[in-house]
């Protein structure tokens, strides 16, 4: 769907392309329930703030060099020192040490989520040759089932079967990936037989395809309107409340998404079943007068411009003056992160990195979060986020996460609208493509054409 924004550096969101192509791998992966299971690490143990990972033997990088604890340590050290950090490391300070065939990861504070963090594609382990100063080049440097051999800028990428993959045989001869941001064009390639697998079929195109060509997967992804709490009209909590009261999200679900989405009750949706236990917003601010605002979003997800136009009309009906700014994501992200908009509409995965929503919440809403589009700095939210991050996994942690969600909702810094369902397109000849709600996998070693 989206072309690379950072030369396929695994330290950015481009990492998820590398994992979906099964070319770059991590120490652990997540199972369907979000539990960490072995990958390049075979086992791990915890001793306070230190986690010891045993590195799998007999693995070779695509350049022929061996996977060693030193190579793993180098990859993790580069990620920990990156500016900005991969968002999975927001608020986390790591020190890395090698001991025998193990890598010891120590955090400044006890962190129960270290194994789950290590599953993030942004912490993929590449060969030493990939790390060239400030540039990370993944071509021919992974350990996965497919070898990345060429990247044609923002147009295409080519991968060949890894004949020596540690996990066994690889079914397909390779992958030819094309970057097609326009959703109608992507769907058209499936109809015309020019593509075998297509990411993110737009809702408007789903009805034009055969029923057996599409798969609809509820996913932990929320369409959210982020409001700039630092400068401009939405620095006033009352104006944020006025925006909340002006929006009718059900119209978006039925109109723009043709019913192929779920109305949001909070930041976390039905793909996270325990989120239904939330109490919800507890202290809404009183609405004050509307204002003139700028609203930004991007074209890469086909529905977002339509959502923005409906929001514009709803807000204008409530007395706001709304100017839209809609571009490709690569051309608007920097402005959004700099707080250039009063409001920004985003489709956001809520457990993309660790399988745990705490990391997403910290990244997006902590005072020092690296993806804080709302420019939020709230002591109550920060305290709740730190509490959630430090609580051991299980029911207690889930309760702490829901408490942090409530604290965020109480600020009206973000207005969750709906939870998306991914619509993946597959030609009739495709066997065993992966329908992954976390959007980490797409082509697996078993994927092939009949």
Instruction: Assess if residue 183 is contained within a domain.
Output: no
Answer for the pair 405, 278: CB distance below 8 angstroms, yes or no: yes
Least confident window among 94-98, 113-117, 139-143, 426-430 = 113-117
**pLDDT average, residue stretch 215-234:** 94
Domain boundary among 145, 177, 192: 145
Report CA Rg, the chain.
22
Instruction: Give the whole-number percent of the chain exceeding pLDDT 90.
Output: 78
pLDDT-derived band at 392, boundaries 50, 70, 90:
confident
Cα angle 337-341-343, degrees, rounded to a multiple of 5: 100
pLDDT-derived band at 99, boundaries 50, 70, 90:
very high
pLDDT of 354 > 80? The answer is no
Instruction: Assess if residue 306 is contained within a domain.
Output: yes
Domain count, the chain: 2
**pLDDT average, residue stretch 171-184:** 96
**pLDDT tens digit sequence for 278-305:** 888 887 889 999 999 999 999 988 899 9
Instruction: Assess if residue 378 is contained within a domain.
Output: yes
Q: Which residues contact 81 (CB under 8 A, 6 or more apart)?
A: none
Q: Do 101 and 233 fall into the same domain?
A: no
Domain boundary among 117, 145, 173: 145
Count H helices and E strands in the chain, helices first.
12, 20
What is the predicted pLDDT for the residue at 291? 95
Q: Quick one: DSSP state of residue 125?
A: B
Q: Do 232 and 353 fall into the same domain?
A: yes
What is the predicted pLDDT for the residue at 213? 94
Instruction: Assess if residue 81 is contained within a domain.
Output: yes
pLDDT of 425 > 90? The answer is yes
Helix (H, G, I), strand (E, B) or coil at 36: strand
Cross-strand partners of 94: 107
pLDDT-derived band at 371, boundaries 50, 70, 90:
very high
Q: Do 368 and 258 fall into the same domain?
A: yes
Mean pLDDT score of the chain = 94
Tokens found for residue 205: 């195109």
**pLDDT average, residue stretch 195-218:** 91
Instruction: Give the whole-number percent of the chain exceeding pLDDT 70.
Output: 100
pLDDT of 30 > 80? The answer is yes
**Which phi and psi (to 5°) does residue 22 adopt?**
55, 45
Instruction: Assess if residue 195 is contained within a domain.
Output: no
Closest to 270 (Cα-Cα) out of 303, 225, 215, 221: 221
What angle do helix axes 303-317 and 237-246 make, rounded to 10 degrees? Answer: 110
Q: Which residues contact 411 (CB under 8 A, 6 or more apart)?
A: 229, 237, 240, 376, 378, 381
Answer for the pair 187, 173: CB distance below 8 angstroms, yes or no: no
Closest to 329 (Cα-Cα) out of 360, 361, 364, 302: 302
**pLDDT average, residue stretch 248-266:** 94
Helix (H, G, I), strand (E, B) or coil at 162: coil
What is the predicted pLDDT for the residue at 238? 96
pLDDT-derived band at 34, boundaries 50, 70, 90:
confident
Instruction: Assess if residue 189 is contained within a domain.
Output: no
Q: Kindly report the CATH number assigned to the domain that includes residue 103.
A: 3.40.190.10
Of the chain, the end-to-end C-alpha distance in Å amounts to: 24
Q: Kindly report the CATH number assigned to the domain that includes residue 417.
A: 3.10.105.10
- Beta pairing, strands 102-107 & 156-161: unpaired
**pLDDT tens digit sequence for 105-144:** 999 989 888 999 999 999 999 999 999 888 899 999 999 9
Q: Do 237 and 369 fall into the same domain?
A: yes
Q: Which residues contact 209 (CB under 8 A, 6 or more apart)?
A: 187, 190, 191, 201, 425
Instruction: Assess if residue 163 is contained within a domain.
Output: no
Q: Do 279 and 377 fall into the same domain?
A: yes
Torsion over CA: 69, 93, 83, 227 (sign): positive
What is the predicted pLDDT for the residue at 352? 61
Domain boundary among 116, 145, 174: 145
Cα–Cα distance list, 248 to 255, 276, 324 (Å): 11, 21, 18
Q: Do 120 and 236 fall into the same domain?
A: no
* 222-254 exposure pattern, b = at least 16 Cβ within 10 A, e = fewer: bbbbbbbbeebbbeebebbbbbbebbebeebbe
pLDDT of 33 > 80? The answer is no
Q: Do 259 and 364 fall into the same domain?
A: yes
Number of Cβ within 10 Å of residue 342's Cβ equals 24
**pLDDT average, residue stretch 332-337:** 96
d(CA 365, CA 352): 16
Q: Residue 111: give the domain boundaries.
A: 15-145
Q: Do 249 and 397 fall into the same domain?
A: yes
Q: Do 141 and 223 fall into the same domain?
A: no
Instruction: Assess if residue 365 is contained within a domain.
Output: yes
Residues recorded for the chain: 450
What is the predicted pLDDT for the residue at 281? 82
pLDDT-derived band at 356, boundaries 50, 70, 90:
confident
Residue 204 buriedness (CB in 10 A; 0-12 / 13-18 / 19+) = middle
Q: Do 135 and 228 fall into the same domain?
A: no
d(CA 338, CA 145): 38
């Amino acid at each position: 769907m989206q072309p690379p924004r950072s030369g396929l550096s695994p330290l950015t969101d481009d990492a998820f392309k590398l994992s979906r192509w099964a070319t770059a791998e991590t120490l652990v992966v997540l199972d369907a329930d979000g539990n960490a299971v072995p990958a390049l690490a075979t086992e791990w143990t915890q001793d306070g703030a230190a986690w010891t990972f045993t590195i799998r033997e007999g693995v070779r990088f695509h350049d022929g060099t061996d996977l060693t604890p030193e190579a793993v340590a180098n990859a993790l050290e580069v990620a920990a020192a990156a500016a900005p950090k991969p968002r999975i490391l927001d608020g986390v300070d790591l020190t890395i040490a090698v001991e025998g065939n193990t890598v010891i990861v120590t955090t400044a504070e006890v962190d129960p989520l270290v194994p789950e963090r290590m599953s993030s594609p942004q912490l993929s382990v590449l060969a030493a040759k990939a790390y060239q100063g400030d540039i990370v080049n993944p071509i021919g440097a992974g350990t996965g089932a497919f070898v990345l051999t060429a990247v044609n800028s923002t147009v295409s990428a080519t991968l060949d079967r890894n004949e020596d993959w540690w996990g066994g045989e690889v079914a397909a001869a390779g992958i030819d990936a094309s970057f097609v941001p326009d959703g109608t064009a992507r769907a058209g390639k499936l109809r015309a037989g020019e593509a075998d697998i297509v990411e993110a079929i737009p809702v408007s195109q789903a009805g034009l395809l055969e029923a057996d060509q599409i798969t609809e997967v509820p996913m932990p992804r929320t369409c959210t309107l982020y409001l700039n709490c630092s400068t401009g009209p939405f620095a006033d909590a009352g104006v944020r409340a006025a925006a909340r009261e002006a929006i009718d999200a059900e119209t978006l679900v039925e109109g723009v998404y043709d019913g192929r989405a779920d109305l949001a009750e909070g930041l976390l949706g039905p793909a996270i079943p325990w989120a239904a236990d939330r109490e919800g917003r507890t202290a809404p601010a009183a609405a004050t007068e509307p204002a003139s605002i700028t609203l930004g979003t991007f074209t890469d997800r086909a529905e977002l411009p339509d959502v923005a136009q409906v929001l514009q009309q709803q807000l204008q009906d409530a007395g706001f003056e709304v100017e839209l700014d809609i571009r490709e994501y690569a051309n608007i992200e920097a402005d959004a992160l700099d707080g250039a908009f009063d409001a920004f509409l985003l489709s956001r995965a809520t457990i993309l990195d660790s399988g745990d929503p705490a990391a997403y919440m910290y990244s997006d809403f902590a005072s020092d979060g690296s993806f804080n589009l709302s420019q939020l700095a709230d002591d109550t939210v920060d305290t709740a986020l730190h509490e959630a991050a430090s609580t051991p996994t299980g029911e207690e942690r889930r309760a702490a996460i829901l408490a942090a969600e409530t604290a965020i909702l109480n600020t009206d810094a973000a207005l969750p609208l709906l939870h998306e369902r991914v619509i993946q397109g597959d030609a009739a000849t495709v066997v065993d493509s992966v329908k992954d709600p976390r959007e980490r996998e797409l082509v697996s070693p078993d994927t092939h054409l009949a």
